[in-house]
Structure 1
Amino acid sequence: MLLDGEAWQAKFRDFRSEAWRLETLPAYNVPQEAEEIRVFLAGERIDPHTHSNEYTEDLKRVRREGKTKGRVHLVTRPLSEYLRYEFMYYLPHAWAGEDIRIMDVTERRNPLADVQDYWMFDKSEVVLMNYEADGTQISREVYEGDVTPFLDYQRIALAESVPFEEYVKGFDI
Structure 2
Amino acid sequence: MTTSSRSLGDLFDTFRCEAFRLETLDDYSGSGNVAAYKAFLAGEPQPEDYNAHWVEELRAHTERGKRVYRVHILSRPLTDYLRFELGWGYRRNMSGGEEFFILDTTENPSPLEHVPDFWLFDSESVAVMNYDSAGKFLGSEVLPPERAAEFARYRDAALAHAEPFTAWWAEHGT
Post-superposition offset of 1:41: 0.5
Contact 1:24 1:75 in 2 (8 A): yes
1:160 — aligned with what? 161
Post-superposition offset of 1:27: 0.6
1:25 — aligned with what? 25
In the alignment, structure 1 residue 35 sits paired with structure 2 residue 60: no
SS in 2 for 1:112: coil
Q: Distance in 2 between matches of 1:149 and 1:64?
A: 29
SS in 1 for 2:33: helix
1:85 — aligned with what? 84
Identity of aligned residues (%): 35
Contact 2:19 2:69 in 1 (8 A): yes
Post-superposition offset of 1:149: 1.7
Contact 1:29 1:137 in 2 (8 A): no
Post-superposition offset of 1:128: 0.9
1:119 — aligned with what? 119
What is the number of equivalent residue pairs in this alignment? 170
Deviates more, 1:78-87 or 1:144-153: 144-153
CA deviation digits over 1:103-142, x for unaligned, max 9?
1001101110110101111100111111112211222111
* Residue correspondence of structure 1 range 21-170 to structure 2 within 5 A: 21-46=21-46, 53-87=52-86, 88-144=88-144, 145-170=146-171
Q: Distance in 1 between matches of 2:24 and 2:156?
A: 15
Q: Distance in 2 between matches of 1:112 and 1:171?
A: 22
Unaligned runs of 5+ in 1: none
Contact 2:8 2:142 in 1 (8 A): no
CA deviation digits over 1:91-110, x for unaligned, max 9?
12123211111110011011
Unaligned runs of 5+ in 2: none
Post-superposition offset of 1:26: 0.2
- Matched to 2:142, the amino acid is V
Post-superposition offset of 1:172: 4.9
Contact 1:127 1:140 in 2 (8 A): yes
What is the alpha-carbon root mean square deviation over aligned residues?
Answer: 2.1
Post-superposition offset of 1:30: 3.2
User: What is the TM-score normalised by the length of structure 1?
Assistant: 0.89
